[in-house]
A and B are shown apart, each in its own frame.
Chain A
Amino acid sequence: MRSFQKFTLLTVFFVYLVIFAGGLVRVTGAGLGCPDWPKCFGRWIPPTSIDQLPPDIDPAQFNITLAWIEYTNRLVGMIVGILIAAAAIWAILRFRKYKRIVRGTIAAAILVAFQGWYGSVVVSSELNQTIVTVHYFLAILIAGIMIFVYAQVYALQNREQSHPQIPPDIRWWSLGLFLLASVQLFLGTQIRSTVEQLAQNYPLLSGTERLVQVGIVNHIHLALGLTLAAAIWVFGLRIRKNLDIIPSLLKFGAAGAAILAAIQIILGLVFIVFGLVSLAQLFHLCIASIIMGLLIMILSSTFKMKEN
């Protein structure tokens, strides 16, 4: 079971790597770097010169850099698909009595297969904003499920912590933080969509001008971000009071979320002061998904592991 635990952790790492690769696609505008799917310009390996393009494709669309950025996202996605499928098979063969582990890995496997296919919808929709956002949420959901599985395995491994007497208010805190963060994540994606739409409709607006145009949602996102970060810190202090009975995953999750929440605020300030810096956007998007993962981990470790 220890190797399975390591394997699920590796899978989680790869899911975040694909979120990172997907974020790169988003900030570089490489989403249509390959106009077809699953192949790229009709080839399994993207073309390296304009002569290799199929005749029905407009050469203006060909940009080797963007094609490879998009294709890397697909390749890493495929690795994740294989890893999760392997985890599901492993769980079915070896850990059948732990229903949550089996169900979790199977759900993740189904979702990752769906996500792969959904990538084709993203491309054929020519990057419809809602579809792109759902694509991102699905990735976070997959990461969340695998983290849930990891937390279950971890609890089984560290039996002394598998039945913690967690004060009920900590459970409520976990749930509250998770819900708050979900709203915040949703608002963030709305801002991103609006910015993208503005870029399409008014290409000459600068990043800062576009942000200003977004208007009220920006302010809500900022206010909620500050609230959420404060709440995560208060939660961390609350945990410190009962340090000895708190499972270590929960402690790790809370500490991680507290640090990352602070970084998110700093990145938010970067947007306000310097505009939409691509690298800051990429990290803002990735860290948001990691915070969601940590909150899911916190939530998972406040519930007991059932053996049935």
Chain B
Amino acid sequence: MKRSEALGGGVIFLFGAVTAILSLQMPIGSFRAAGSGLFPLCLGILLMVLSAAYVAQVLWAVREEIKKDADVAPERESPAQVLAFLVVIVMATLLLKPLGYPLVSFLLMVGLLRVLGSRRWPLNLTLSLVTAAGSHILFVYLLKIPLPRGFLGI
């Protein structure tokens, strides 16, 4: 826990450093007449200071506090399921333009139901079909929102 906490602080430090370096490439100006880069530069440095302080706090912290943080993390979970869930969302987003909203909303439902452990296929397919049709009617016909049509053209 201690190592991953420090690592998290390190990643944030890097983010601050990158922000500061990129800001330096913009006009900085002075406090009297600030350029575009001044405010982000200050923020980048501030973030570096805060994250360094955090890493130091974690590494030298009293045991009590580490324990308190450890309690926050959920005990039982499945990272594979979250990853699969994210993959389905990313796939759906990639396919949204080419396949169109009606088809993608159907596939998204089928995919996510499967990821979450629904194995009754007839039920999954019916539910997905009803949801896809329902959301299509709601958004496209009732709310008149132009969603990607895809090759189906609906």
A, B: real partners:
no
